[in-house]
Structure 1
Amino acid sequence: MLGANDGIVSTASLVLGVAAAHGSRSNVLVAGVAGLVAGAMAMAAGEYVSVHSQADTEKAELKRELAELKADDKGEHEELTAIYVARGLDPLLAKQVADQLMAHDAIGAHARDELGVTETLRARPIQAAFASALSFAVGAAMPLLTAASVPEASLIILVPATSLMFLALLGALAAGAGGAGLAVGAIRVTFWGALAMGLTAGVGALFGTVV
């Protein structure tokens, strides 16, 4: 949702800025496509670096945990037992659970219950980069398709109108997924999207007049 929102707002704003500066449809589309590619690559690169750093941290923590298990097995049993006691088990049962889990997979038990690292939630840099780039590109394609299909004279009106509709829909879906109010989510995203588009169009109009 966030990537698609970014794609809509940034590309629609770019399209409006060029259109407000009296750019032709071809100028608008070239700028929009360039913005789509640049934005998607920037999202992918940023997400890859961020998630790869997280993956490096996870690897370092697991390596340190393995060393601690070799150096102080008893202490690690006590540490895991304390975690289960803190979660509500009585001390005897917590010790039994810790002993059995560590006998089965000691590093797995500590990774999951001490470090919060699971196979499902483990950092995957390439997957995260691809997902971010794809979501941005899908969002950016919406105002681009509008700019390519509507009459050139109506472009500066229909691009922001349709983009704000898409933003409202995505805002409502994101709010609904998070259990928040649909109207509040839609209004919040739409307001900031409209502000970004309005400011960019104003800059484009000013630049087109001056230049």
Structure 2
Amino acid sequence: MSDLPGPDGVELTPRPHDAEPHAGEGLNSRLNWLRAGVLGANDGIVSTAGLVMGVAGATADRGPILVAGVAGLAAGALSMAAGEYVSVSTQRDSELALLEKERRELDDDPVDELQELAALYVDKGLTDDLALQVAEQLTERDALGAHAEAELGIDPDDITNPWEAAFASMLAFTIGALLPLLTITLVVADARVPVTVASVTVALALTGWASARFGYGPSGRAVVRNVAGGLFAMGVTYAIGSMLGTHV
């Protein structure tokens, strides 16, 4: 890779930052796993914690709490997997259809497509001559990839996978749901509610931090959002369970 002239005559060598994601490194797949995994874990923690806290508010009997928690875990995990599969499959079908359309256009009118690609680079700030030169070189190397990135924002080599999203979501939901379920059923009756609240708070803080860390976002806001939402859900369901438990 050749050096480029930089400020004050200093020669610069183009290279990516090691700490940042770049195209061709499976960024789309990584974000797909991250989104499905974080969503699944958070939903597993919050929904199962809310469910078992609601039942715990109505009864101190360990049996109903365990049954409700296991049923909620199974139903939630399967629901998350099915929902992710359908959602990502729709996205994948759209991406493949757009790529096929672009492939046909390249076969039918390559000259017009080359001009269109050059115009896109002009819109991004390149001069006409440089934009055409870049478009020609990228077209020679990978015409479909160049058009897909510039026009559609799609990497043909990194199409979203619905099975990956479904499995990641189901697994993450199950792991997240096990924490409040095991905590509230194994801890003695007098301490199960505060211990469950404490463990869920820590878990939500960790998932919030992890989502921010791997998604290159601010961690503080993600942690506060996760914890606040989870505590609100548990508080509401426990209050509802307590009211119903005294009247049913």
Fold equivalence (TM over 0.5): yes
Shift of 1:110: 1.3
Shift of 1:119: 4.3
Q: 1:124 to 1:98 in 2, by over 3 A?
A: same
Q: 1:196 to 1:120 in 2, by over 3 A?
A: farther
Shift of 1:28: 1.0
Q: Which moved more, 1:52-61 or 1:171-180?
A: 171-180
Q: Which one of the candidate residues 98, 123, 126 is aligned to 1:89?
A: 126
Matches within 5 A, 1:159-174: 159-174=196-211
- Contact residue 59 and residue 245 of structure 2 kept, 8 A: yes
Letter in 1 for 2:135: A
Q: What is the CA deviation profile of residues 157-191 of structure 1, one whole-angstrom value per residue up to 9, with x for unaligned ones?
A: 22122112221232234345544252x43333222
Q: Which one of the candidate residues 59, 69, 72 is aligned to 2:109?
A: 72
Q: What is the CA deviation profile of residues 31-57 of structure 1, one whole-angstrom value per residue up to 9, with x for unaligned ones?
A: 111111111111111111111111111
Aligned counterpart, 2:222: 185
Shift of 1:26: 2.2
Shift of 1:2: 2.9
> Does 2:177 correspond to 1:137?
no
Aligned counterpart, 1:11: 48
Distance 1:137 1:126 in 2: 16
> Does 2:75 correspond to 1:43?
no
Report the RMSD for the aligned CA atoms in angstroms. Answer: 1.9
Distance 2:65 2:217 in 1: 38
Corresponding residue SS for 2:191: helix
Q: What is the CA deviation profile of residues 39-90 of structure 1, one whole-angstrom value per residue up to 9, with x for unaligned ones?
A: 1111111111111111111111112112222322211010111122223332
Shift of 1:149: 2.4
> Does 2:152 correspond to 1:115?
yes
Shift of 1:5: 1.5
| Greater fraction helix | 1
**Higher RCO (C-alpha 8 Å, min separation 6):** 1
Distance 1:23 1:54 in 2: 45
Distance 1:15 1:173 in 2: 25
Corresponding residue SS for 2:43: helix
> Does 2:99 correspond to 1:62?
yes
Shift of 1:13: 0.8
Q: Which one of the candidate residues 109, 128, 131 is aligned to 2:165?
A: 128
Q: Which sections of structure 1, spanning at least 5 residues, go unmatched?
A: none
Q: 1:169 to 1:100 in 2, by over 3 A?
A: closer
Shift of 1:120: 5.5
Residue-pair matches, total = 210
Q: Which one of the candidate residues 182, 193, 196 is aligned to 2:233?
A: 196
Letter in 2 for 1:73: P
> Does 2:77 correspond to 1:33?
no
Question: What's the % identity of the aligned pairs?
Answer: 49
Letter in 2 for 1:190: V
Distance 1:102 1:185 in 2: 41
Q: Which moved more, 1:5-14 or 1:141-150?
A: 141-150
Letter in 2 for 1:82: A
Letter in 2 for 1:180: P
